[in-house]
């Protein structure tokens, strides 16, 4: 018996004959080729990856009172998906991962865009501020898939406390403007 067949016997406990091993190998090769082809083809499906222009005077920093601590947390953990200043990672160029990354950013911006804070009405702002505290406290944000890769984007209980205190202070400030 050849050493190759011995090696296989070691793995499969002699379940497969030499001919069956050849067939299995062939199937695996075809499957690998098919996967490679699929991966290559997927690269042609390119959803648009954009950073819309940041309009002066509309950002959260310009329209709200943001403490330095809160600004640091938002920049570190939230801005990639909730602003027009996304830093796109290299894998946002590689399908199928790119599809998820781009979708998260598009959806994130649609729901909450700190670069366009000035466009929200008072009630909307209050709703967003409340949600910022809630989503952080519940551990819904930043998204798990993001925090898994961007380890330093994870928020601590102290960060949550800072975000919630800021959100309520900003809400009071907004109310006092009326």
Q: Residues in the site for ligand HEC, rule: CB under 6 A?
A: 77-78, 80-82, 104, 107-108, 111-112, 128, 131-132, 135-136, 141-143, 146, 155
Contacts of residue 78, defined as CB under 8 A and 6 or more positions apart, other chains included, come to: 114, 141, 142
Distance CA 140, CA 138 (A): 5
1 secondary structure, DSSP code? -
Look-up of token digits 């890769």: 149
Identify which of residues 78 and 95 has a Cβ nearer to ligand HEC in the complex: 78
Least distance (Å) from ligand HEC to the CB of residue 41? Answer: 26
Least distance (Å) from ligand HEC to the CB of residue 151? Answer: 13
Least distance (Å) from ligand HEC to the CB of residue 117? Answer: 12
Identify which of residues 5 and 131 has a Cβ nearer to ligand HEC in the complex: 131
Distance CA 134, CA 169 (A): 15
Least distance (Å) from ligand HEC to the CB of residue 141? Answer: 3
Identify which of residues 8 and 142 has a Cβ nearer to ligand HEC in the complex: 142
3-class DSSP state of 119 = helix
Identify which of residues 4 and 103 has a Cβ nearer to ligand HEC in the complex: 103
Answer yes or no: are the C-beta atoms of 150 and 142 closer than 8 Å.
Answer: yes
Distance CA 68, CA 167 (A): 14
Distance CA 163, CA 66 (A): 10
Identify which of residues 40 and 50 has a Cβ nearer to ligand HEC in the complex: 50
Least distance (Å) from ligand HEC to the CB of residue 32? Answer: 31
């Amino acid at each position: 018996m050849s050493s190759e067949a011995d090696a296989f016997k070691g793995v499969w406990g002699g379940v497969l004959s030499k001919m069956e091993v050849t067939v299995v190998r062939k199937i695996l090769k075809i499957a690998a080729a098919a996967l490679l082809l699929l991966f290559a083809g997927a690269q042609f499906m390119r959803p648009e990856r954009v950073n819309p222009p940041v309009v002066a005077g509309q950002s959260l920093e310009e329209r709200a009172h943001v403490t330095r601590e809160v600004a640091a947390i938002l920049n570190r953990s939230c801005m990639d998906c909730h602003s027009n200043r996304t830093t796109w990672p290299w894998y946002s160029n590689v399908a199928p991962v790119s599809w998820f990354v781009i979708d998260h950013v598009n959806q994130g911006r649609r729901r909450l865009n700190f670069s366009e804070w000035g466009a929200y009405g008072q009630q909307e702002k209050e709703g967003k501020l409340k949600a910022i505290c809630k989503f952080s406290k519940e551990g819904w944000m930043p998204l798990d898939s993001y925090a898994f890769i961007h380890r330093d984007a994870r928020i601590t209980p102290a960060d949550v406390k800072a975000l919630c205190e800021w959100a309520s202070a900003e809400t009071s400030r907004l109310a006092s403007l009326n």
